[in-house]
Structure 1
Amino acid sequence: MFKKLVQYVMVSLLALAPASGLLNVRSTKVVAATTTMAAPQINASAAIALDPATGQVLYEQNAEQVLPIASMTKMITAYIILEQIKQGKLTWTQTVKPDGLIYQLSQNRDLTNVPLQADGQYTVKALFQAMMVASANDAAMMLANQVAGSQQNFVNLMRQKVADWGIKDAQLYSVSGLNNQFLGNEVYPGSPADAENEMSAIDVAIVAQKLLADYPEVLVTTKQAHFTFGAQTSDETAMSTWNLMLPGEKNAPQGYVVDGLKTGTTDKAGDCFTGTATKDGQRILTVVMHANGDDTGRRFIETNKLMQFVFDGWQAKQLVQANQKVKAYQTATVKYGRQKTVSLITDKPIFMWVPKTTTVANVKWQYQVVKGGIQRQLVAPIKKNLQVGRITPQLQGVTNRYIGKTPQYTLRTKVNVPKANLFVLIGDGIQEFLTDLF
């Protein structure tokens, strides 16, 4: 017994040497009440709603099925155009001429186009506006030719771009979303005769999220309900948006404001709409694919159901302020320290969309140690601001899903904890011995 006691004392003395360890958190059990809300049935083949800032999914219905996306394709085209302008490879004032195919396409009144002259020249800005407001297919194709030299080359850029965003199941064949039957000799090599672009609702949401995050100025264009193409020229044409949820339009909602983003319609895709709206300073993003029903505004009716569900039932809530404790992980135990515990605080404020009936007590926390291994005590000495773990808020009864990277928040030590003096360490060693013995 004496030998074992000596061993414990020696351990205590060794504690004077530098040491490090992982975390053994003193936690308070959180009682999580249900936060389930009655979700609407969206009369469409697929739908999703999310917070574009974080990617938090607030609603989803068949969101992973790959479906035709029609002119929602033009959001990818728009991203690449805006990227080219940012990089100085393209300017708004550059002029573009239509080739023979595009000119012939522009004369097809069954498709959405702007009227073009065979020898006309049109600015990048006018074509971008026509593409994003009036959904002009010929405008999208002219922009693609200007950037990449051909439709095929631009489609290759689109494929690479969505792959860079982690989208693996996209099927992209055209820059506009048109079916191959309208593209003549510009059909993507090896693609089926009736092929058209397809993605899942989650994929489309990722595209829209990237567009809003990297080029928020796109909303200056998409919030326009009317514009004049070719003003003060022989091509001058008054054009209107297809987004009938914009303020003043037929399907404009009450209580929140829609300012984008992109409609889409083909026989295969049906009526689709990627929408974005704000209320009380909070922005949401929705995708509705192949809306059903007899009303000609069905995609907007279903989008309104989805947006009302989010705005009426959810709110962006600050769960924890910066440099504050998280209730479930307030302290970590400390071995060989002058104090037995150290307070843990967050590195930044923690926000999350939650049902409006939710309180902080409804939130559970998923904890991850910064370094791999079994959780154990921190070992003194400990420095202030030592990162000891990461936490992610979780809700019961809702999806807890994010597109892209799930946000994580770091827990760090609030103060320095020096090593205890020799006599305290010896006493701790003896106490540990006796506890183990009995």
Structure 2
Amino acid sequence: MQLNYLKKWTLYGTMMVLMLTCLFTGLPEQASAAEKDELGLESKAAILVDSETGEVLYEKNADELLGVASMSKMVTEYIVLESIKEGKITWDQKVKINNYVHRLSGAPELSNVGLTEGEEYTVKELYQAMAIHSGNAATVALAELIAGTEKNYINVMNKKAKELGLEDYEFVNSSGLNNADLLGSYPAGDATSENKMSARAVAKLAYHLVKDYPEILETSSMPSLKFRDGREYKNFNWLIPSLVFGYEGVDGLKTGSTDYAGYNVTSTAKKGDQRVISVIMKGKTKNSRFSESIKMLDYAFGNFAEEEVLPANYTIKNNKTLKVVKGKEDSVKISTDKAINLIVKNGEKENYQTKLTLDEKKLNTNGELTAPVKKGEKVGTLSLQTKDGKEIEFLTADGKKTVTVDVIATEGVEKANWFVLAMRGVGGFFSDVWDSASAAVKGWF
């Protein structure tokens, strides 16, 4: 009896230990984010995209709003380049430095190129200081040039972000610093406020920047900046080939770090004809953001390639023809008008299926076309999706269009003349009569 009693309490004790373990450590199937993550990244969020189409190749917490720090300077890079293109400002235009910008440029522990009060600097000098050495005061000087005040410039940033479709963002200053570092000047928010973006929004910003203004790479790829003060300022993006974590093909784009944001980096690299963009947000250490970026870049270049997933003139299985009424022929052959190319993971080319969408405006209630039908006439679209029915993910609507092609009639069908249509009507009448009579006779037996 005592032995059974002891066994029973031993069993109860074991069960209690297991319950308490689950309570404090989580159930076994509740693996950590790193264990669930295909690449095992420790950073809070990340995303990897094809630079040409914006196709998403990998993501982790890509829609979470996080501190973005100096990566938000890419918004100002875009606005400056656009302003120059539109003739609103010029590279050699002079900008006179005021007392606030001068004091900010000398603030301790902030990334800056020293700017002298009352001295004039060109837009190009300030732009390079911002893009290469992440100069915070230089960024403010450019913001004031474009909008009059940094407070007004926040509206410019928000407008541009909306135009670019960034969706997840919150800007309180031009530089990406915590407002507490701005010497008491808060363009928006309060002393604790800081710029925020999602990894997807940052990737979309970088995508537009590289696509619309590829000349950005001429500056972002520079390992250092020799400034007029005689000093040489290093590029904080240590993925640039000649720097600490040098990676072949990297030529941009921007780093950022604050206590709130952690360690961030947006990188872009090109190998052969393939260019990708990767974003790391809230990395654990200064170095880990670069090592994890390398992991993503290796993953992209080692596992993905562009392939022709669907050839031109593709005929859809079970939908090779469409029925036609009032035509000399009763059907017409259809196919796609062009091929679909996609960045595909190695060995997964067969993991896609097609979805046919016919133009209902051109069909009657029975789903038939009405003659005449012209050769090359669009009758619908064919889109590519994964075999589990999910859409292929892109950063932009334009990217999504790359996996949809027109379906056209590959031949023409002329409208039948009145006599042929009349004979068909008569034939159809007698056919119906015969079918009815045959059914009746069969019923007798």
Alignment TM class, shorter chain as reference:
0.7 to 0.9
CA separation in 1, counterparts of 2:250 and 2:317?
Answer: 39
Aligned to 1:182: 181
> 1:237-276 to 2 correspondence within 5 Å?
237-253=231-247, 256-276=248-268
> 1:371-390 to 2 correspondence within 5 Å?
371=360, 376-390=367-381
Q: Which moved more, 1:151-160 or 1:406-415?
A: 406-415
Amino acid at match of 2:46: A
Aligned to 1:219: 217
1:248 Cα deviation after fit? 1.9
- Residues 43 and 399 of structure 1: is their aligned pair in 2 closer, same or farther, counting only changes over 3 Å? farther
Aligned to 1:310: 300
> 1:271-310 to 2 correspondence within 5 Å?
271-292=263-284, 296-310=286-300
The reply to whether residue 154 of structure 1 matches residue 153 of structure 2 is yes
Residues 354 and 382, structure 2, Cα contact 8 Å, conserved in 1? yes
CA separation in 2, counterparts of 1:204 and 1:219?
Answer: 17
1:309 Cα deviation after fit? 1.5
TM-score, with structure 2 as normaliser: 0.81
Amino acid at match of 2:373: I
- Residues 432 and 79 of structure 1: is their aligned pair in 2 closer, same or farther, counting only changes over 3 Å? farther
CA separation in 1, counterparts of 2:137 and 2:392?
Answer: 41
CA separation in 1, counterparts of 2:282 and 2:374?
Answer: 57
1:122 Cα deviation after fit? 1.0
Residues 320 and 326, structure 1, Cα contact 8 Å, conserved in 2? no
- Residues 358 and 206 of structure 1: is their aligned pair in 2 closer, same or farther, counting only changes over 3 Å? same
The reply to whether residue 417 of structure 1 matches residue 413 of structure 2 is yes
Residues 328 and 365, structure 1, Cα contact 8 Å, conserved in 2? no
Amino acid at match of 2:268: T
Residues 46 and 278, structure 2, Cα contact 8 Å, conserved in 1? yes
Residues 172 and 187, structure 2, Cα contact 8 Å, conserved in 1? yes
Residues 44 and 282, structure 2, Cα contact 8 Å, conserved in 1? yes
1:431 Cα deviation after fit? 9.4
CA separation in 2, counterparts of 1:112 and 1:161?
Answer: 25
1:208 Cα deviation after fit? 1.0
CA separation in 2, counterparts of 1:272 and 1:84?
Answer: 27
> 1:192-203 to 2 correspondence within 5 Å?
192-203=190-201
CA separation in 1, counterparts of 2:366 and 2:263?
Answer: 52
CA separation in 2, counterparts of 1:435 and 1:161?
Answer: 71
> 1:335-374 to 2 correspondence within 5 Å?
335-336=324-325, 337-359=327-349, 361-371=350-360
Aligned to 1:395: 386
Bigger-Rg structure (1/2): 2
RMSD of aligned Cα (Å): 2.6
> 1:62-77 to 2 correspondence within 5 Å?
62-77=61-76
Amino acid at match of 1:164: E
- Residues 241 and 395 of structure 1: is their aligned pair in 2 closer, same or farther, counting only changes over 3 Å? same
| Unaligned 5+ runs, structure 1 | 1-36
Deviations 1:381-408 (A, max 9, x none): 1012211112221124787212221213
CA separation in 1, counterparts of 2:272 and 2:426?
Answer: 59
Aligned identity (percent) is: 34
Amino acid at match of 2:328: R
> 1:161-172 to 2 correspondence within 5 Å?
161-172=160-171
CA separation in 2, counterparts of 1:399 and 1:60?
Answer: 15
CA separation in 2, counterparts of 1:428 and 1:367?
Answer: 34
Deviations 1:269-328 (A, max 9, x none): 1110111111221111111101125xx421111111112112211112122344x22544
Deviations 1:154-202 (A, max 9, x none): 111001111222333311011110110122353124x121111001111
CA separation in 2, counterparts of 1:375 and 1:204?
Answer: 48
Amino acid at match of 2:60: Q
